Amino acid sequence: MNKLEVDNDQKIKLFQKEITNKLEQQYKENCQSLELKIQKIEEENKDKITNLEKIIEQKDEKINLLEGEIKKANEINNELINKKIDKITNEQKNLINFVFAPKYIQIKNKWKYIDN
């Protein structure tokens, strides 16, 4: 091999090494950039997830409060219904007693049956 070929071979090897180094550097920079982007996205998602968890917790608390209110309302409703049933039952008993009970009045020291 002559000197010119050796010089050209060395230049080619140097050029290849330079290109390889640049590509490796670019690859490292791209990796770092992607890692930073991934980290940023993870932080954003973490914040979003935290906010969603808070919202879900608030909704659960509201649901529990509403369930408690529904339970109280049902208890009050049942009490009112039971009172009305008792009142109607008593009125029914009074009506039955009034309609079917014999009626007597005293006339001059005598009892007489009255039928309407």
Q: CA-CA distances (angstroms) from residue 41 to 31, 34, 45? A: 15, 10, 6
Least confident of 10-14, 46-50, 56-60, 96-100: 96-100
Dump pLDDT digits (tens) for 1-10: 566 676 788 8
pLDDT, average across residues 49-74:
96
User: Has residue 11 been placed in a domain?
Assistant: yes
Residue 107 falls inside a structural domain? no
Please report whether residue 63 resides in a domain: yes
What is the average pLDDT score of the chain?
Answer: 87
**Count of structural domains, the chain:** 1
The answer as to whether 97 is a domain residue is no
Task: Kindly state whether residue 74 falls inside one of the protein's structural domains.
Answer: yes
Question: Residue 61 pLDDT > 90, yes or no?
Answer: yes
What percent of the chain is modeled with pLDDT above 70? 81
Rounded to two decimals, the pTM is 0.50
Reported as a single tens digit per residue, the pLDDT across 98-112 is 777 666 666 666 656
Residue 96 covered by a domain:
no
Residue 110 covered by a domain? no
Interatomic CA distance for residues 78 and 72, integer angstroms = 10
Domain hosting 3: range is 1-81
pLDDT value for 76: 96
Mean pLDDT of 5-28: 89
